[in-house]
């Protein structure tokens, strides 16, 4: 087990899930992916999170993102927990949950932190690009529910900046101005950014989001 860093190829695995046996890379195909872990089934915060992800499925689909969850409990436990999630969160879980009883995937992705717990996974989130590399890693404590609006915002930024020579400033939201990356020369700007730009400082140049009409 090694530490996973941004830019690494996401480790491949085959696992039992609530939607059958899945090979991770095959399942991703040409899509982006989100893999997120839970300490165990029947945990209150995670119940709300899985319900939220189910409700956001259309938003993930819109961005060509597939979502997969993980917990160290077994399939039977997962199936019963899903009934609780559907009932309490007024939704239908519509993505696979890995049964990681042997903690194979948890260890592959370094999700078990002995200082937090020797057994349970920490609540990690990995965003994986269409090229199968890790684009984002966030780890939350058990007490704090994840913000999936923020995750969608970050995915919007990652997908934009993967294909355009821009970065996104603090608190950026889809549709707002972007920062032209420093490697773009002043002479290149008119061709790359025909909508124009504002030079705040020579190193801080703003342009309308380039992939919008």
Enter the tokens of residue 103: 């903690």
User: What residues are paired with 70 via a beta bridge?
Assistant: 37, 98
Give how far Cα 41 sits from Cα of 3, 18, 76, 101, 187, Å. Answer: 25, 13, 11, 11, 56
Q: In a 3-state reduction of DSSP, which class is residue 156? A: helix
Enter the tokens of residue 120: 């349970």
Q: In a 3-state reduction of DSSP, which class is residue 13? A: coil
Catalytic residue among 46, 85, 105, 155: 46
Give the H or E element holding residue 32.
Answer: strand 32-38
CA separation for the pair 213, 210 (Å, rounded): 8
CA separation for the pair 12, 16 (Å, rounded): 14
Is 178 a known active-site residue? no
CA separation for the pair 174, 1 (Å, rounded): 37
- Residues identified as active-site: 46
């Amino acid at each position: 087990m090694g530490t996973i860093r941004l830019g690494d190829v996401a480790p491949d695995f085959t696992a039992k899930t609530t939607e059958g046996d899945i090979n991770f890379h095959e399942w991703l195909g040409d899509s982006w992916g989100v893999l997120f872990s839970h300490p165990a089934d029947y945990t209150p915060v995670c119940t709300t999170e899985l319900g939220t992800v189910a409700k956001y499925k259309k938003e993930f689909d819109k961005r060509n993102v597939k979502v997969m969850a993980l917990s160290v409990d077994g399939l039977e436990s997962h199936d019963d927990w899903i009934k609780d999630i559907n009932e309490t969160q007024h939704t239908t879980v519509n993505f696979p949950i890995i049964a990681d009883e042997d903690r194979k995937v948890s260890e592959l992705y370094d999700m078990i932190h002995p200082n937090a717990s020797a057994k349970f996974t920490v609540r990690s989130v990995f965003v994986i690009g269409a090229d199968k590399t890790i684009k984002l890693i966030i780890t939350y404590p058990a007490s704090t529910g994840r913000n999936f609006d923020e995750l969608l915002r970050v995915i919007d930024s990652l997908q934009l900046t993967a294909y355009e020579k821009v970065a996104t400033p603090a608190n950026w939201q889809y549709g707002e101005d972007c920062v032209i990356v420093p490697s773009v020369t002043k002479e290149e700007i008119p061709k790359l950014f025909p909508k124009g730009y504002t030079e705040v400082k020579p190193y801080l140049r703003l342009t309308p989001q380039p992939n919008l009409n």
